[in-house]
Amino acid sequence: MRQLDIHEICDLIFSKQEGGYWDFKREWYKNDAKGKQDMLHDIICMANNLSKKDGYIIFGVDEAKDFALTGVCSDPNRRNTQNMVDFLRDKKFAGAFRPTVSVTAFDCSGVSIDVLAVHTDNNTPYYLAEKFQGVHANNIYIRIQDTNTPLDRSADIHDIEKLWRKRFGIDKTALERLEIILSDCNNWEYKEQRPHYHKLHPEFYIEYPEHDEGEQYETSHQVYSGFYINSTSYWYNYRIYYHSALLHDSAYHLYDGSRIMLASHSTVMFRMDDGHDSNTFYHYFTKDSIEGKMLLLFTKGNAGYDERCDYCRSYDDYCSNCSIFGSLGGGAFLVFDNEKSRKSFEAYVLNNRKAFNDIEVKNDLSTVRHAVDNKWDKSRAIKMIKLHKMLNIWEREGKP
């Protein structure tokens, strides 16, 4: 679910026009029968918009007064995300597919605005299996430009076809389909703990040339390898194909003596301030990238990087209660939703440098003994652990 871009919403307001995925309302829907009918109708239209974007119903903007900002502070019918989820829950949607919605309140030019976001996905077309007041069953309502399909009609057949094509991925390129298929962890066939092909779409498959030929490249000298009990680590290449066409060529890593398999991470230098000693590198994944999706696939849907517990250290194994998917190997890797989220986290750290500097890591360093063979590695490991702890704090506080 994409985070709401406040600047985008303000730009839409100041454009002083409605469009294919956004609509303005002076106030929230009334809490009577007609208000609920109109709200459901508008949500379905936005869920089926043809722009392939999140739909926005923006409250507190009066179209009749040249899109003046009227605000919603005194609106008695304001709703939050939970209210909207509850409203949709008992509506009889076909296939039990319901639109995903969220409500965000913010100030635009000093005026309180609410945005009901209807998040885009591949479950289109959305339509009711059972009539709700004036919203008919089996009618497919859509939004084109600034117009919704009337309640007593269904959309044109060629527009409905576009929505079905979206659901089945027919209108997507092979790379676009790959992103969907990589997210479908449950339908991949595994061999020797490695995903090999998609069961429903076997034309998408993965080859491991170096591993199959017995070649390996050791990376045990890297600091992140020392975050695991056994610091021995290797990397190999993998290639993703669609039929015989190569779609993606990258690497994966084996950590903790080949017990943990992860996708190839990204590395970035983080400049804490102008001093050289305060700069550090950290390693990360973004969930919306191919490597982030491969991370989930390699870990069978559990994106984590934990090391073994005390019991397992003694027996050089993993117990049934010790998941290898958890706390990032003590801080070796960070995971973000996307690049925007990563940059927001960096800004958070910069704005909370004292909290970052005050984080205690003495006990954590004992678990990464392999990573602190020299002064530079120790300094880097300390900062990696602190960034991991700051990420946990940032997420608990409700990341933007």
Can you give the pTM of this predicted structure?
0.70
Place of tokens 């984590």: 304
**d(Cα 241, Cα 264) in Å, to the nearest integer?**
18
CA distance 382 to 345: 18
- Which tokens in the block code for residue 245? 């066409």
**C-alpha span between 27 and 114 (Å, rounded):** 9
Q: Which residues contact 135 (CB under 8 A, 6 or more apart)?
A: 37, 40, 41, 44, 128, 141, 151
Q: CA gyration radius for the chain? A: 25
Show Cβ contacts of residue 310 under 8 Å, excluding neighbours closer than 6 positions.
none
Per-residue pLDDT of the chain (400 residues; tens, 9 = 90+): 677 889 999 999 999 999 999 999 999 999 999 999 999 999 999 999 999 899 999 999 999 999 999 999 999 999 999 999 999 999 999 999 999 999 999 999 999 999 999 999 989 999 999 999 999 999 999 999 999 999 999 999 999 999 999 998 888 899 999 998 998 889 999 998 899 999 999 999 999 987 655 556 776 678 888 777 777 888 899 999 999 999 999 999 988 888 888 899 999 988 876 554 567 889 999 999 999 999 989 988 766 545 444 444 444 444 434 433 333 445 688 999 899 899 999 999 999 989 998 988 776 666 565 555 666 677 788 888 889 889 989 988 876 6
* C-beta neighbour count of 213 within 10 angstroms: 9
Are residues 105 and 112 in contact, defined by beta-carbon separation less than 8 angstroms?
A: yes
CA nearest 176: which of 247, 243, 125, 73?
247
Contact (CB, 8 A) for 345 and 336: yes
Architecture in CATH of 6-168: 2-Layer Sandwich (3.30)
Structure tokens at 82: 């939970």
Instruction: Give the integer Cα–Cα distance in Å for 2 and 22.
Output: 16
Structural domain spans, the chain: 6-168, 174-396
How far apart CA 165 and CA 171 sit, in angstroms, is: 6
Please tell me what DSSP assigns to residue 368: G
